[in-house]
A and B are shown apart, each in its own frame.
Chain A
């Protein structure tokens, strides 16, 4: 039998801010996505005041003034998340990083190695993470990923924030769990299941396999088996290629200035390309996302002539799409880019009509940019479109010509 632990960082973004500024400990703190954004993480104290998740900042400052609102610093959060995940990788060879603040760890056999029971082992890991990274974590242990997730939700209400769901406790847990709280069952599927009279997770596992398969297909059966404690989806520590990479941000002020839009888009292209080069991939499709002042969203895609991962190559088709979508009489609130259809750069199909010379140059230049950023810090060299009349909202300091 396998034993799986779900390690979930508590109010992760707030915990990161508190690690960087310890004076914020004990105060109601919320992290917002930007000054035009909304609440994305709340501390325990902020939750106690009643600050809801997802509320826009301008409403939050009016309704809950006593809370401290801090803009998100995702660069720092990623670094802290990596250090937490590295500690987990010291304990087990199988660690699946599920999101920035969650990871599944295979605990099978670790009790013999560390001479501790599962609860004590979880406590030891929790303390080690707290001591080394100053991030509090909640741990749920069970025999499958779905049950571990439920155990971790239950652990949030316990004193030590650790919960083990064995055979007997998992039955009790399933009886108390609403069907739409189960991992993989969302609000809409939950409504459908309620229509069939299934209110709790326990009601769901009592149904026949044939009944579940007929109505919910293979995924329904997988969820049932996982709820029964059989691990169907194993923990994989292989990094899967993402299906898409996107980068978007709201402007500080609404704008209909084409040069400003291009400038902002260049920043997003640079961020995406950096991530793409990090996983050694090239993309074959790009999409531009434009959101107007009245929240209308426009999205247009384009298939690229050949796979690419360099800023200058991607910005040409991206600007073409933007020019097509652009309406000078509309005020825009945000712009973004989505890169899709990834191929590994090592397995790239070569071009018959030679573009390889340019490709090699682009690759070298891209890698050099990354190395410079790694050595001297973020945004030390910046690429893209620059119009000197536009104020530096996010700060593009050097022009393309200067960079080259």
Chain B
């Protein structure tokens, strides 16, 4: 995934979830988009049901208490 601020290639987490009965159940998550798309294809063929795909970019966050940079997935 591209970073919108810098234009650089950044790691992102692709989370595939099932939406059923007003609930979200996570089915699969990966940092590789092609794996995520393959899983989506397989899941749709297998269960005839769509998935909700969240793309969470990896963000640099400064932790002032620890005084160090941490990485976390953020929507």
Using a CB–CB distance below 8 Å, which chain A residues touch chain B? 17, 19-21, 23, 27, 32, 35-36, 57-58, 60-62, 64-71, 73, 75-76, 79-80, 252, 376-377, 380, 395
Q: How far is the CA of A32 from the CA of B53 in the complex (A)?
A: 10
Q: B20 to chain A: closest CB distance in Å?
A: 8
Q: In the complex, what residues of B have CB within 8 A of residue A395's CB? A: 74
Q: In the complex, what residues of A have CB within 8 A of residue B20's CB? A: 58
Q: B71 to chain A: closest CB distance in Å?
A: 13
| Pairwise interchain contact A61-B4, C-beta atoms closer than 8 A | no
Using a CB–CB distance below 8 Å, which chain B residues touch chain A? 1-2, 4-5, 12, 17-20, 22, 24, 33-34, 37, 40, 44, 48-55, 59, 62, 74-75
Q: B54 to chain A: closest CB distance in Å?
A: 6
> Ordered nearest first, which 3 A-B pairs have the shortest CB separation?
A61-B50, A65-B50, A76-B4
17 further contact pairs, Cβ within 8 A, besides A61-B19, A62-B50: A21-B2, A23-B34, A58-B19, A58-B20, A61-B18, A61-B49, A61-B50, A61-B52, A65-B50, A65-B51, A68-B51, A69-B50, A70-B54, A79-B4, A252-B24, A377-B59, A380-B62
Q: In the complex, what residues of B have CB within 8 A of residue A68's CB? A: 37, 40, 51, 53
Q: A287 to chain B: closest CB distance in Å?
A: 27
Q: How far is the CA of A67 from the CA of B19 in the complex (A)?
A: 14
Q: In the complex, what residues of B have CB within 8 A of residue A20's CB? A: 1-2, 4, 55
> Nearest CB to that of A80 among chain B residues?
B4
Q: B9 to chain A: closest CB distance in Å?
A: 10
> Nearest CB to that of B2 among chain A residues?
A20
Q: How far is the CA of A21 from the CA of B49 in the complex (A)?
A: 23
Q: A200 to chain B: closest CB distance in Å?
A: 40
Q: How far is the CA of A65 from the CA of B34 in the complex (A)?
A: 18
Q: In the complex, what residues of A have CB within 8 A of residue B51's CB? A: 61, 65, 68-69
Q: How far is the CA of A71 from the CA of B51 in the complex (A)?
A: 12
Q: A80 to chain B: closest CB distance in Å?
A: 7
> Nearest CB to that of B10 among chain A residues?
A20
Q: B67 to chain A: closest CB distance in Å?
A: 15
Q: In the complex, what residues of B have CB within 8 A of residue A36's CB? A: 22
A-B contact pairs, 14 of them (CB 8 A): A20-B1, A21-B12, A21-B55, A35-B19, A35-B52, A57-B19, A60-B50, A62-B49, A65-B44, A67-B50, A68-B37, A71-B75, A76-B4, A377-B59
